[in-house]
Structure 1
Amino acid sequence: MPETSRPAAATRRRLLIIHNPVAGARRARRLGAALAVLEQRHGAVVTLQATGGRGDAEAMARAVAPGAFDAVVAAGGDGTINEVVNGLGARGGDSAIPLGIVPLGTGNVLAHELGLPLDAEGAARVLAEGRTLPVHLGVANGRAFAMMAGAGLDARVVEGVDTRLKRLIGKGAYAVETLARIAAGGGGPYRLAVDGGEPVEVASVIVARGHFYGGRFVCAPDARLTDPRLHVCLFPRMGRGNALRYLWGVAAGRLPRFPDYRILPARRVVIEGPAGEPVQGDGDVIARLPVEIALAPWILPVLVR
């Protein structure tokens, strides 16, 4: 088991909570409930900072003075969490501040991977009393990600998904956009080289740090956040029929059994393809092709139960 640490029971944690105030009334109520439990039941000292636009969460996390807080908490979806991860990562390994999470997003993929509770009371308990888990991150052209990065169909879906439809129907918006992208065709092929080896050509690629994908779907069964390896998931065959087949394989939990599907362990991956195509990381576009993906040179402590 990886090394973890747990505070003494009497510790009153000082928490900076970064949140998006336009995330919706339901999520605001859940955050408010978590804050009430933190302060009233656990005696935590909470500082709340609201973002005003893209990049604010990263800047806030980066600006935290050493020793000012016991943890920086991302209260939001995977995009907000990714910004805070990058802000904390920019500080370097010697001054690492633990990341806390209040899952308020559509997918909550990192929260599922870490086994975090989604309810307000459970989330507050982890922030107040949880241990820290050392998490190895990936970087894509210098941009950090916690769970996965990808080029191909999933990246084009992430870039094209309708944010208004996402607010209305949640994960269903990704299904709609996925089918639209498959019907439209295009994209790829992509050439990738693993650890300096001979390039191979694929229809899509996902570089995984965790084993969950898009919620609780599984692409890389053996991937774990505490394991310092990338798991490179290769979707080799082009065409709409194969794209639908891979999509069914993910949804049905049978993808790892497909004879043409491969997973390669790696420390560094270079992906080339149509210049400027998106690269998604943790559900947001974080880079453009060509891209180099590697393990981050630092470890991020994350609060878990």
Structure 2
Amino acid sequence: MEARVVVVVGNASAGNGATPAWRDIEAQLTAHGLLARVELVRDGHGIAAAVDHALAERASLVVAAGGDGTVSAVASRLVGTGTPLGVLPVGTLNHFAKDLGLPLDLEAAIDVLAAGHAIGVDVGEVNGRTFVNNSSIGLYPRIVLDRERQRREARRGKWTALVRACLHAALRYPVLQVEVEVAGQRLERRSPFVFIGNNRYHVEGFDIGQRTSLRDGLLSLYLARDSGRFNLVRLAALALVGRLRQADDFEALDAAAFVITTRRKRVHVALDGEVAVLQAPLRYRIRAAGLQVLVPPPAA
């Protein structure tokens, strides 16, 4: 049998960076009989180029080795191709891996890749841009942009920059006038924070901010209620780390598609923690089973 060709797209800023740990990953995959190659990248352009090259050489598996941002960037190039995504969760939060029940231990994650059991999972899409976890507009993208500016210009740590960005947002407290079109209905709301999840997020109980399924074929939309600036900054900060709170703070809707219109023609939109500027209206849809992902095989 011909060996499977595996390309690992590694985020060089995750984990230990370009250290022997990356060579260990390549060696462990090779020990499983896979023809493995690690491609280290440092930004989105590098990820796109590496995945496109892997597809051109007909790799049987492309692996994202990093956090949620790396996973999302790799997945966006694989959606609809039929080439499966593997995940080595060596980032900080790893929400996508956790929600799929993937092991966070590196050796166990490599065993999953070697087993080769793939399933189809849903991805979200807005104006042609995909996301595997969530997207949002309003307060959250502002906080992300401010956080990254502080990390870049003031060289602050991630969490210090996050706290300061939340405080800045509290002082400004921007509120959006949005119109949401869903299932033939139009809803007009004032909200500083709109969150769209790929499938349903838990918003109460002990499983806060997690999903039990990525295969229900639905987007979940949460409109934060206009209940005061500090409360909503708290909600935005919790969403940044994937921990949405009680349902009373939100108006929640589930659907396969939404159209969101604001008074602005160009909107800052967060997609899995990265911010893009998109043209309104924002047309969200679910791409059911649009991505093949390797997961642990079912128990015998």
Above 0.5 in TM-score? yes
Query: In the superposition, relative to structure 1, how do residues 150 and 24 fare at CA in structure 2: closer, same or farther (>3 Å)?
Result: closer
Give the match's secondary structure for 2:186: coil
Unpaired runs of 5+ residues, structure 1, are: 1-9
Map 1:1-305 → 2, pairs under 5 A: 12-21=3-12, 23=13, 26-29=16-19, 30-40=21-31, 42-51=32-41, 53-65=43-55, 68-89=58-79, 92=80, 95-162=81-148, 165=151, 169-171=157-159, 173-201=161-189, 202-210=191-199, 211=201, 218-219=208-209, 224-237=213-226, 239-244=228-233, 246=235, 255-258=245-248, 260-273=249-262, 274-288=264-278, 290=280, 291-296=282-287, 299-305=290-296
Unpaired runs of 5+ residues, structure 2, are: none
Which amino acid counterpart does residue 113 of structure 1 have in structure 2? D
Q: Report how far residue 158 of structure 1 moved.
A: 2.1
Answer yes or no: is the 8 Å Cα contact 2:65–2:89 preserved in 1.
yes
Which amino acid counterpart does residue 142 of structure 1 have in structure 2? G
| TM-score normalised according to structure 2 size | 0.81
Q: Report how far residue 132 of structure 1 moved.
A: 1.1
Which amino acid counterpart does residue 198 of structure 2 have in structure 1? R
Answer yes or no: is the 8 Å Cα contact 1:189–1:204 preserved in 2.
no
Could you say what the CA RMSD is over the residues aligned between the two structures, in angstroms? Answer: 3.3
Which amino acid counterpart does residue 78 of structure 2 have in structure 1? L
1:176 and 1:253 map into 2 onto residues whose CA distance is: 19
Answer yes or no: is the 8 Å Cα contact 1:158–1:285 preserved in 2.
yes
Which amino acid counterpart does residue 196 of structure 1 have in structure 2? G
Query: In the superposition, relative to structure 1, how do residues 67 and 152 fare at CA in structure 2: closer, same or farther (>3 Å)?
Result: same
Which amino acid counterpart does residue 242 of structure 1 have in structure 2? N
